[in-house]
Amino acid sequence: MIGLKVWSSISNSNLAILSVDQGLSIRGAVKEKNIPIPCRVRLFEKLSGRMIADVLTDNAGNYVFNHLTQAKFFLVAHHPKNQFNAIIQDNVVPK
């Protein structure tokens, strides 16, 4: 099973979904049975359902989404070998 853990960093921009400066961030790591795994993570705006960003984690499973503003998002992590269903983390708020 893949688990998502989200860490956030703080910034002061909150005017739109995406910001020109670093804005707010969502950071996290993807792990399978507590072992970090590299995979694809997608960020979606909760209200509209539109995809905001698509990133690949580093080899330690870490990802970051910058240039965000205050809104609710959900994350989808895809298993690199498609052995499991995608994992969704809902109501993620950047800080």
For residue 74, name the pLDDT band (cuts at 50, 70, 90): very high
Q: How many residues does the chain have?
A: 95
Question: Pick from 24, 27, 22, 28: which is nearest to 5 by CA?
Answer: 28
Q: Which helix (H) or strand (E) holds 75?
A: strand 73-78
The tally of domains found in the chain comes to 1
d(CA 61, CA 48): 27
Domain span at residue 85 reads 2-92
Q: Model confidence over 11-45: pLDDT tens digits? A: 333 334 665 666 789 999 998 889 999 999 999 99
For the domain that residue 79 is a member of, what is the CATH number? 2.60.40.1930
H helix intervals, the chain: none
